[in-house]
Structure 1
């Protein structure tokens, strides 16, 4: 799905040769400051690598239209944006930007329930708690039904019980629909439990990263 060869970015990342497989869950695991979020942003051209080559589906991403790329490679940042408007608006806004058909309220309510968000669709999005904002934003990208998801610490604001529920929901969504996910986490437990492959990011540089498959 993605290949990164001799890629560098400022003094943060130095990647010799990494392949991210399609229809699999790859986790970037490491401490804060090790370049995990930067790595994600290179994959959808929010950041541009200073050297080397990144490909997506055998095409150099430098040749791809950034907007079109980001419609296929959806990113959920660690601190997701909640837009002005209702909970419904916040769930649907990605569909609007992508020019996709909006969902019926019944489907949206079912999604909220599965995300353990105890709000109504007409409630103000600004009234969501930190954890609810994270879950609504996750639901928003799931509705986009994209082939690739880049998610940065998707459960950082959740307690352990809710984290398990939400991670199970998201991972099942990825696997059941043959999608690709690249996740960032600092949690060894999350990395081991949910990943098909883990990329260990050490000492701020990825050049010496080791790969381990979670069997």
Structure 2
């Protein structure tokens, strides 16, 4: 589905070749600064590489309409946006931005249930805890029904037990619909349990520093 060739981005990331398969759960791991979030941004066409090519279904991402691409390849940032208003307002915000029909409340409540968020649709979203807001954002992403979900530390604000429940449920829903999931996590437990395709990134700028020191 994705193919990265001879990629370099600033002094953050250098990848000779990486292929990411369709309908699989790929999990990116590596120490802080190794470029995990940068990879997601490249796949989402939020940034462009300084060198190299990113392909999506065989086409150079640079040639694709970025708005349409981001509707097909949705990215959930580590600190997701929470909009003023209710839980319902937040759930339908993504659908409205993407010009997709808004489902009835039953479907919205099912999305909340799927991420273990037991809140009324009328709850004020800004009053939720960090972990609850993270789950609300996951439910919003799930409702978009995109081809690809790019998730940047989607369970970082959750305890281990809740994180496992939420990620397991989200991935089950995604797999049922043959979606592609590419997730960044620092959790070894999550990575070991759910990665169908594990991808480990090493810190590129550390290699540059070591090379300069050796020189």
Q: Distance in 2 between matches of 1:159 and 1:42?
A: 29
Cα deviations by residue, 1:25-59 (Å, 9 ceiling, x for unpaired): 11110111111001100001111101111100000
TM-superposed CA distance for 1:128, in Å, is: 0.9
Q: How does 1:85-96 map to 2 (within 5 A)?
A: 85-96=85-96
Offset from partner CA, 1:120-159 (integer Å, 9 cap, x none): 1111111111001000000001000000010001100001
The yes-or-no answer on 1:101 pairing with 2:104 is no
Helix, strand or coil: the match of 2:103?
Answer: coil
Please list every run of 5 or more consecutive structure 1 residues that lacks an aligned counterpart in the other structure. Answer: 208-215
Q: Aligned to 1:133, what secondary structure does the other structure show?
A: helix
Q: Distance in 2 between matches of 1:114 and 1:43?
A: 26
Distance 1:176 1:113 in 2: 16
The whole-number CA distance in structure 1 between the counterparts of 2:173 and 2:110 is: 14
Q: Provide the aligned C-alpha RMSD in A.
A: 1.4
Q: CA deviation at 1:111?
A: 2.2
Q: Quote the residue 1:211 is aligned against.
A: none
In structure 2, what is the Cα distance between the partners aligned to 1:136 and 1:78? 13
CA distance in 1, matches of 2:157, 2:204: 24
Q: Secondary structure at the match of 1:139?
A: helix
Any idea what SS the aligned residue of 2:165 has? helix
Give the match's secondary structure for 1:26. strand
For this pair of structures, how many residues does the alignment match? 207
The residue aligned with 2:81 is: 81
Q: Which runs of 5+ in 2 are unaligned?
A: 208-215
1:200 matched residue in structure 2: 200
Using the TM superposition, give the Cα deviation of residue 7 of structure 1 relative to its aligned residue in structure 2, in angstroms.
Answer: 0.7
Using structure 2 for the length normalisation, give the TM-score. Answer: 0.93
Equivalences for 1:1-215 in 2 at 5 Å? 1-204=1-204
Name the SS of the counterpart of 1:95 in structure 2. helix
Q: CA deviation at 1:119?
A: 1.7
Deviation of 1:105 (Å): 0.9
Question: In structure 1, how many angstroms separate the alpha carbons of the residues matched to 2:27 and 2:176?
Answer: 18
Q: Aligned partners of 1:31, 1:98: CA distance in 2, in Å? A: 34
TM-score by length of 1: 0.93
The 8 Å contact of residues 41 and 47 in structure 2, kept in 1 or not, is answered as yes
User: C-alpha deviations, 1:51-107, integer Å up to 9, x for none?
Assistant: 111100000000001101000000000010000111001001111011111011122
Native 8 Å contact 2:115 2:170 kept in 1? no
Post-superposition CA distance 1:155-192 (Å, at most 9, x none): 00001111111011111012111110110011222111
